[in-house]
Structure formats: structure tokens, C-alpha cells
Amino acid sequence: MGERPALFGEGFAADPYPAYAWLRENAPVYRAVLPSGVSAWLVTRYADARRALADPRLSKDPGRHRAAEHASGRVGIPGERGANVMTHLLNIDPPDHTRLRRLVSKAFTPRRVAEFGPRVRELCDGLVDGFAGRGAADLIDEFAFPLPIYAICDLLGVPAEDQEDFRRWAGMMLHTAGKRGGVGRAVRRMRSYLGELIHRKRGELGDDLISGLIRASDHGEQLSEEEAAAMAFILLFAGFETTVNLIGNGMLALLRNPGELGRLRAGVLAGDEGLLASAVEELLRFDGPVELATWRFASEPLTLGGARVGRGDPVLVVLAAADRDPERFAAPDVLDLGRVDNPHLGYGHGIHYCLGAPLARLEARTALGVLLRRLPDVRLAVDPGELRWRGGLIMRGLRSLPVEFGPE
């Protein structure tokens, strides 16, 4: 059995996978004390994780928590309570979840995402233009970070003159991860701005996503202004950091696996869109942007993976552990960009499956394609052991990713 490795300690952020492998083997549903002091169940096996993500007895409503941690902001998204943006899809259950998701999906259509493709390519090329002649760059700060901010601002309909404010607030959220006060200030500023923007757009609706949220209706039902602001916030929050991490973690995985990097580069140059698509799915599985699914709370006593979970107990599904489960994936610790049988949980499962997954996939495919076409000899500029990972419980992402390449 061996000694249980330390969770959330020194070295864990850089490589949590050995600890998760121990939990999968020895304590697949494990009661852990989190860095915040909250006690929660960690679900690490794929089969248990998939069931938990779709179990209606595991509520998304923080009010179901039997203790008072939710009131003090120690569960849920940092800053959301103080900024009054709680009424979004990650915090509610049916029937309210069903109603809101149906309304929001009317604004967030596959057609809208597909039509956004040329703009994403333009953004990627413009960012690479800024450093391609230098022969060196930080792919987080100069590429992976600004890309989704500008993309989601364009999609939401944030005017160009206000987008630098959004970039600054997003930077506060990213660089103060694990320090709830700084994140909370950024969230409050975003919430205040989104309320003003929604009020302005009500007088002149456009073809952007916020206008779509305002316009969305079904059988006479409409989103309230509070719901629209909360939904705009969560689309920004979820669509921003996940994409930063997907591009950053994905590029690091490729750079550390030169055979697969060469395979994908050859495919990109040959126009193999199928390989590019399967590569994104494998990068989501191998070292995805979301380490733990967002909070769930047992609405009644239940048994999960042999463990007895009490009513009100927090449950965190460890996506990073489930997606490396050898019971479900052959050679799970091997990066295989052509993996065919790959039903990973990187964007969740069940009714809370990520609504913005098509946009994130589009951004990742485009970003990887542009980087490998324009920087064909890109390589790490530091030893992998020197890289640092951001703090925080839910997300998994690098602070920086220094690279070198032949100047364009």
C-alpha cells in the first residue's frame, strides 16, 4: 500500500499525478482537509467520477452545504458571493438550471462559435506578430493569457476601448489565484462593469453574446438583469482561465514529448485537421486545465465508491485523476495525440457539461496550429523543473512558459 503522499504540499502542484494514482489505488473516495481548512471528499476513479458528475443527489447549490464555509467564501468561486454573481449555471440545480441553460444556449450557438473562427485566427496571428521576430517569448503572458480575454470580450460585445480594463481584471484573477481577496476585488469590478454594459445594451441590442442573453426568452421567460450579469461573468471566468491553461499545459506537454510534437507539427503543415482535433482532446485528458470539477454537495446521505458521504458534505471530482485511470485508458501516463478511445472528463459530464467547450476547442486548435506553423522549431528555454504553477484548488496552470525559436 505504501505511505500516502502529501496532498497540496510542496511539489504537489508541479506533479500531482503520483499522489492521485495512490488515491485511485488505495482510497478512491477520500476525505481530505483542503488548504482552506474545508473538509471534502475527493473522487479519483474514472467510473466513480463519471457517476458523481451526473448524480442528481450531488447538488451544485452551495446552500446545501451543512456547514457555514459557503457563507465565508471558502467554497465556490472566489469573490462571487460578494459581487452578487451567484445565480449562474455552476451554482444551481434543476429546474432553475434547466431554464437558465435553455435560455443561455439560445445565445451561445454552435453557429456563433463557428463564425468566430476567422477572428480567433486573426487574434492568434496578431499576438505571434508581437514576438516572432525576437526568437524568445513567454507563451503564457504574451499569447495564452491575452488570446481568450480578447476573444471572449469580442464575443460578449465588450467595446474595444474597455477591453484593456478586462485584461487588467483578468490578470488580477490569474495572478492572485489562491488569494481570495485579490480575486474578489477583480470579480466585483467585473460585475459592476457588466451591470453597466447590460443596461447600455438594453437600449441598442447588437449581435453579440450579451445582447443574445438579454434577448433570450422561452415561453415568456427571460433572464433577469442579475442572471444575465452572472451568466456573462461565468462565461468570462470559465472561458478565460481554462483556455489559458489548456494552451499553456498543452504546449508544455508537447515540448516535453518531442516525438509527439514533431508528429503534430508535420500534421499541421500537411493540413491534417483530424490530428489537430484529436491532439486537443488528448491534451485535455493528459494534463487538462481543470484539475478538480467545481463544488458539489450531498443533498442526502449516499454511498460513493464505497465511502459513506453525509448530507451536506462537499464532494470534489478530481478530473485530473479520473482521466489518468488505467481502468479506463490504456497507458494513461503516455501522451498519444492519435488516441482514438478518449472519453475524457476534461469538460465535465452530465447536465453541467461545459457550455463553452466548443469555443475552447476552437481556440486551442487555432492556437496550436498558428504556433506550430509560425514557430516550427519552438523549444523550452528553461529546465522543466524551473517552471512554476499557479496556486488555487480548481484550475491547473503555469505561471509562465519561456520558449525559444528561430526568429521569423
Q: What is the pLDDT of residues 76-129, one digit of tens each?
A: 665 565 555 566 777 888 988 888 888 778 767 788 888 899 999 999 999 999
**Taking CA 42 as the corner, what is the angle to CA 323 and CA 334, rounded to the nearest 5 degrees?**
20
Q: Please, which pLDDT band fits residue 70 given cuts at 50, 70 and 90? A: very low
Beta strands in 6-94 (DSSP E): 29-33, 39-43, 58-59
Quick one: which H or E segment has residue 217?
strand 217-218
Q: Which of 182-191, 292-301, 331-340 has the lowest mean pLDDT?
A: 182-191
Has residue 276 been placed in a domain? Answer: yes
CB hemisphere CA count around 220 (13 angstroms): 0
Residues 320-348 have a mean pLDDT of: 97
Rounded CA-CA distance 256/267 in Å is 18
Confidence tier at 71 by pLDDT (50, 70, 90):
very low
First to last CA, the chain: 53
What's the CATH code of the domain at 132?
1.10.630.10
Q: Mean pLDDT across the chain, nearest whole number?
A: 88
- The number of domains in the chain is 1
By the 8 A CB rule, do 347 and 245 touch? no
Residue 196 lies in a domain: yes
Q: Assess if residue 2 is contained within a domain.
A: no
Q: Which residue has the cell 515540448?
A: 255
- Decide if 12 contacts 320 (C-beta within 8 A): no
pLDDT band at 65 (very low <50, low <70, confident <90, very high): low
CA distances from 152 to 54, 123, 289 (A): 28, 11, 17
What does the alpha-carbon distance between residue 346 and residue 320 come to, in Å, rounded to a whole number? 8
- Quick check: 228 and 86 in contact, CB under 8 A? no
pLDDT tens for residues 183-201?
677 778 888 888 888 888 8
pTM: 0.91
Nearest to 156 by CA among 194, 88, 213, 209: 209
Least confident among 69-73, 105-109, 299-303: 69-73
Q: Is there a domain that residue 155 lies in?
A: yes
Q: Which residue has the higher pLDDT, 267 or 176?
A: 267
Mutual angle of helices 357-374 and 117-129, in 10-degree steps: 40
Percent pLDDT > 70 in the chain is 89
Q: Is residue 5 part of a domain?
A: no
pLDDT bracket for residue 228 (50, 70, 90): confident
Dihedral of alpha carbons 94, 33, 287, 123, sign: positive
The pLDDT value recorded for residue 143 is 98
Separation of alpha carbons 153 and 1, rounded Å: 50
- Residue 265 corresponds to which amino acid? R
pLDDT score of 181 more than 60: no
Share of the chain above pLDDT 90, in %: 56
- Among 174-183, 348-357, 377-386, name the one with the lowest average pLDDT: 174-183
DSSP lists the bridge partners of residue 39 as 33
The residues with which 296 forms a beta bridge, in sequence order, are 315
The answer for residues whose C-beta is within 8 angstroms of residue 253's C-beta and 6 or more apart is 283, 286, 287, 335
pLDDT computed for residue 402 by the predictor: 98
Q: At what angle do helices 163-175 and 225-255 cross, to 10 degrees?
A: 60
pLDDT, position 72 = 47
Report the distance separating Cα 16 and Cα 112, nearest Å: 37
- pLDDT over 60 at 63, yes or no: yes
201 domain-assigned: yes
Radius of gyration over every alpha carbon of the chain, rounded to an integer in angstroms: 21
Distance of alpha carbon 127 from alpha carbon 146, whole angstroms:
8
| 304 found inside a domain | yes
Residue range of the domain that includes 232: 17-404
- The pLDDT, as a whole number, for residue 105 is 80
